[in-house]
Amino acid sequence: MSRFHDLTQLPDARGHFGPYGGRFVSETLSFALEELENIYASLKNDPEFQAEFDRDLTHYVGRPSPLYHAERWSREIGGAQIWLKREDLNHTGAHKVNNTIGQALLAKKSGKPRVIAETGAGQHGVATATVAARLGLKCEIYMGAEDVERQKLNVYRMHLLGAKVVPVESGSRTLKDAMNEALRDWVTNVDDTFYIIGTVAGPHPYPMLVRDFSAIVGREARRQSLEQIGRLPDALVACVGGGSNAMGLFYPFVEDDDVIMYGVEAGGEGVATGRHAAPLTANAPRGVLHGNRTYLMSDEGGQVADTQSISAGLDYPGVGPEHALWKDVGRVRYVAADDDEVLAAFRELTLVEGIMPALESAHALAHAKKLAGEMSSDQHIVVNLSGRGDKDIHTVAKLDGIEF
């Protein structure tokens, strides 16, 4: 039996992953979280609910997503074979939709007419606005004012989808502040509002249910590896902000002890500079934010630190609590890729394979490239290509001195 079997039994009844996770929220929200926990518990093993979820993933999202052998890129690197799990080909262009489809079904069961969400790069916001449009739910998306600026395309997409995008001006004006504001909205409108959290963080049961809805990625990748490679891959690589796409890919492989996993955090200007968003790699102290205990970047007084990353989607000072535990027990190795490496990977994949990755996903690619170079050509790496890069053209063009 796998020495990591115990990890599949988590969280415990109170939402704890070892010392991490939990439900650190103000009292007003306790009721809504208990309600959500009960709804999910009643549906989790309900075949009808699962069938509905699978149907939506097949016919609305377009699953399964391909596992693509990046042969040319692998050859150029001259090491292991790199396979890309093409979550960029999903409807709305990223892995985020897997989770929003699931939570939207829960929202429907709860009978609440309004959904809210926080978003960083805008992918989760778009995915939420999309499912809200489809189900006729009122939708408001909280987005840091800085991210509204650097992700204009996604802001307009949400607008077209009928959602209201609220720019958040407080704090560092990025993802964590958007989450604060979404929590404030929820505490005010808890009776008629369902909060669709976009990552494996937040108060219990969110880390668990976002994981479960995202795990379709890993289940498919595992099956596809057996079919296309003829065995399980040697390594998995995925980027980690809050950590939903990494969790989605990794979770179904947890008990495959021989599969080495790498979570790639946002190194920003370099972990050594302090200007990054890599709490696990930097060994940030334990802290509590947004309802859970985890590795959290903060100053000595416990004030949450400002983070730095070229990708809005990874620009977050904490990380999902299950990742925190996986670091401690050594199931996953957490590393960082800095902005320069990420941009290089973004350009390289676009030129060599004709696939333009999201800057978030380019973190995983940057590390996969390093890793592949150290491995032999009969070894295999599966990388979660978690989203497409159209939304980032603005950011990259600006660096090239081009303004649209």
386 labelled catalytic: yes
In which region does residue 354 sit, left (phi positive, over 0), alpha (psi from -120 to 50) or beta (all else)?
left
Contact 83, 233 (CB under 8 A): yes
Q: Which of 120, 261, 284, 268 is nearest to 198 (CA)?
A: 120
Tokens matching residue 55: 């149907």
Under the binding rule (CB under 8 A), the answer on residue 116 touching other proteins is: no
Give the one residue of 97, 165, 200, 296 binding other proteins; rule: CB under 8 A.
296
**SS3 state at 151:** coil
Using the rule CB under 8 A, which residue among 64, 66, 171, 270 binds other proteins?
171
First to last CA, the chain: 56
Neighbour tally for 385: CB within 10 Å: 34
190 binds other proteins (CB under 8 A): yes
Q: How far is the CB of 20 from other proteins (least distance, A)?
A: 12
- Taken as a whole, the chain contains a residue count of 404
Two structure tokens written together for 88: 């960029």
Q: Of 172, 214, 309, 386, which one is the catalytic site residue?
A: 386
Which residue in 224, 225, 281, 298 binds other proteins (CB under 8 A)? 298
Q: Tell me which stretch binds other proteins (CB under 8 A): 42-50, 189-197, 234-242, 377-385.
A: 189-197
> ∠ CA(109), CA(321), CA(246), 5° rounding?
80
Q: Which positions from 302 to 341 touch other proteins by CB under 8 A, shown as an x/- string?
A: xxx-------------------------------------
Largest CA distance in the chain: 57
In this structure, what DSSP letter does residue 391 have? G
Interface region with other proteins, contact rule CB under 8 A, candidates 73-81, 252-260, 292-300, 338-346: 292-300
228 binding other proteins? (CB under 8 A): no
Shortest reach from residue 183's CB to other proteins, in Å: 5
Whose Cβ is closer to other proteins: residue 14's or residue 231's? Answer: 14
> Rule CB under 8 A: is residue 189 a binding residue for other proteins?
yes
* 71 binds other proteins, rule: CB under 8 A: no
In the complex, what is the shortest distance from the CB of residue 258 to other proteins, in angstroms, rounded to a whole number? 37
Please, are residues 334 and 33 in contact by the beta-carbon 8 Å criterion?
Answer: no
Among 2, 8, 30, 38, binds other proteins (CB under 8 A): 30
Bridge partners of 383, per DSSP, are 84, 237
Q: Is 31 in the site for other proteins (CB under 8 A)?
A: yes
Task: Please tell me which residue in 118, 140, 353, 360 is annotated as part of the active site.
Answer: 118
- Annotation marks residue 118 as catalytic: yes
> What's the Cα-to-Cα distance from 151 to each of 30, 60, 121, 313, rounded to whole Å?
33, 25, 6, 10
Residues in the site for other proteins, rule: CB under 8 A?
Answer: 14, 22-32, 34, 170-171, 176-177, 180, 183-184, 187-191, 285-291, 293, 296, 298, 300-304
